[in-house]
Structure 1
Amino acid sequence: MSFGRIILGDNQFLGINHASPSKAAELSDRFAHTDAILEVIGWAYEAGIRDFMFTTHERLQPVLAEIARSRLFPDMQYIPCLPYAHKYANTMTEGGMKAVFTRHLGECSKSRLAASVAKLAIGRFSAVMELLLEIELLMCRGIAVKGVFLQNVIFDLLMGLRAHRLIEGFDREVRRRFGATPGYITMNHGLAQTLLCDEIGLSQPWVCTNFNAGGFRMHPSPEQVVQTFANGRSCNIAMSVFASGALSADAAVRFMQTARGVDSVLFGSSSQKNIVRNFEQLSRKP
């Protein structure tokens, strides 16, 4: 399954801006309300965007619930990225392990939860991924899940630990349980490609990483990322295409149009004007 050329991201909704703390704080305040987030998703939908990638942050839960309840945005496809680790850390700080189990496991299917725990008890650690998906995707009930991506905070850690079985378990469970496309967000595109394609044996896995004309957060080097995008071994989603505001729209678009191996472009915006402009320009072929 493929994704659209343009994917709407959610950094703006969570108050994330890598270049400006003041802008981040402004965004966080603005999108503290569900209706403000729905308005921007609506602008993206009207512009022609049909894919929305988001983290499983608690702020998005009422947004997705309202989309499912009111049947908003027909044909929109959703791509959750998990886990959002801060919510577990915050819950642990507030109420300890008991609070984690009560708050995050309380709504899980008891039979699935019991099955996963039983597998863990006999050493089948791939059940960790089954349990993670069970918890994290509760908020996606009633919406069309097209893909599920592992956040770089977990995927890059698993790469470093050589935890191949856990990655394989994630890939298998996303396909089997949800009929969705698994994907991987990483801060090291070349290493991720080698592990997924050569060591695990996946065919053209979906990989999302920083990719922009300024070399912003492109590791291990901009040159190597350009090369691994172009080699055709993975399907690639480019993020941080505007280098967190450091690049002009024209420079970013020219790079995306001429770079090889860019299957989809992920961007977040809080302005209707910018959403329309970015969609039109980034969709245009050179």
Structure 2
Amino acid sequence: MSPTIDSASGGTPFISADTAVEQHGSVRLDVRWTLGGPSREADYAAGHLPGAVRLDFDRDVCGPVGPVGGRHPLPEPEALQAVLRAAGIDDDSRVLVYDDGDGMAAARTWWTLRWAGVDRAQVLQGGIKAWTGAGFPLETQTPQPKPGTVTVRPGQLPVLDAEAAADWARTRELIDVRAPERYRGEMEPVDPVAGHVPGAINLFLGEDDLADAPRLHERYAPHPEAAYYCGSGVGAARTALAVTAAGLPTPPVYIGSWSDWVSRGRDVATGEER
């Protein structure tokens, strides 16, 4: 596991549409995605930020799904490097990532870029809706970027595996950000087993306003040694983005999350933790 990375090392994780439109030379990544839904190729073709390269979230940002590892595992470094170079990313590139605006796919992409050593990555606050809402244009042309030269350096953000997550729950604070009924094991719409990691507590991700840094600080500052998990590492990455936006150190993430935990046949807890 890598040491915790202070948020200051990567600067603010957000960029507004007003600032982004004036920022020239950045690489723009369109990662719009719907959990369990169809590919978003048609949406990209219908209109995207000028110059934006489309990444398929499941194929390009995450690794292939296996019998263990969860539904959105980390990509192999070599595969990710090829994707990022094809998008035109160099080691010193500014990278702007956007989705529909909920911040889920964009946050996981931002987290993956930071994990890979791409420090100058930011998420477009409010996503493509904020861009069009500000009156800025879209385009339909598919860009042909000059291949980049970025070198992926995995491990630049702290990552937990199942054993480390179990230890974190015993010795520090492991936070499950899924809906309370999923945490308690009352229902599970995606994974084959309901419940939570024994010893984990619940702090529902909900609809955090990622632009409200003081509120985020109030919410997450009481958990200075917490690590986070969700269903498959997407919501937990969004929480890591929220914590970083609050001016706090980027926390450890159990990137395989619940889907990895149950794939390994680990012990399951239900109800509330005492």
Larger RCO: 1 or 2 (CA < 8 Å, sep 6+): 2
**Which structure shows the higher helix fraction?**
1
With normalisation by structure 1, the TM-score equals 0.28
Normalised to the residue count of structure 2, the TM-score between the two structures is 0.29
